[in-house]
Amino acid sequence: MQHQDDIAEETGPQASPVYRQKPRPVGFEVIYRLEDDRLVVDTGRRVDTIPLSAITQVRLTFESKTAVREVYRTTLRIAGGRSLSLTNVDRSGLSGARTQNGAYTAFVRALVAAVAKANPGVTIRCGRSHVAWLLLAAIGIGTVVGVAAFSYQAVSQGAGTAALLGLLVLALACWQLMPLILRNRPRPATADDLPADLLPG
């Protein structure tokens, strides 16, 4: 339950951008708050204050999990070797994981803009690193080619049931892997031009 001062701050004319997320089923809610030139992270057990000028890299990525198919993640690299990340998935509800796409996108846009203002030299990356993406693409293409070859061989041998099973697996593999490969292709970005496919609507 929100405190009255939190509600007033989030709905006031000059409200500080706030994002709340419970990243794990067991644990505390994490509150991210932009305050002037700082990012305040309240984990329930401790409160960290991070100067926005100390954030050296922002990376936006896309994942697919069992409970939630579309998981969007923002990872911050901080001077000194630290990092932290937030996603669009909240696990505080009784029904399990739920997405909060609008709140996540609004906060990430505000966060990236504030970081770029505080540290004009920040690097904004989209997708996986080149090595990780090439490995992901190779695994995905290899999986699709292998299943397609199995299905073709089954058809040529008149094994209709096996062929149908292969086609179903092929469709599932494409449905699962293609968004991971396409959305996570490595590319630079700017605070004013973040890719829509890595920020949910």
pLDDT confidence of residue 75: 97
Q: What is the tens place of the pLDDT at every residue in 71-88?
A: 999 999 999 899 999 999
- Based on DSSP, count helices (H) and strands (E) in the chain, helices before strands: 4, 11
One domain, residues 82 and 9: yes
Q: How far apart are CA 18 and CA 12, in angstroms?
A: 12
> Is residue 168 assigned to a domain?
yes
pLDDT confidence of residue 1: 41
One domain, residues 86 and 30: yes
One domain, residues 173 and 88: no
Q: What is the tens place of the pLDDT at every residue in 88-109?
A: 999 876 667 889 999 999 999 9
Contact predicate 137/128, CB 8 Å: no
The angle at the Cα of 180, spanning 178 to 186, to the nearest 5 degrees, equals 115
> Is residue 61 assigned to a domain?
yes
Domain range spanning residue 135? Answer: 130-181
Domain count, the chain: 2
Burial class (CB in 10 A: 0-12, 13-18, 19+), 65: exposed
Lowest mean pLDDT among 27-31, 72-76, 174-178, 182-186: 174-178
Q: How far apart are CA 111 and CA 102, in angstroms?
A: 14
* pTM given for the model: 0.79
> Is residue 189 assigned to a domain?
no
Lowest mean pLDDT among 6-20, 42-56, 110-124, 151-165: 6-20
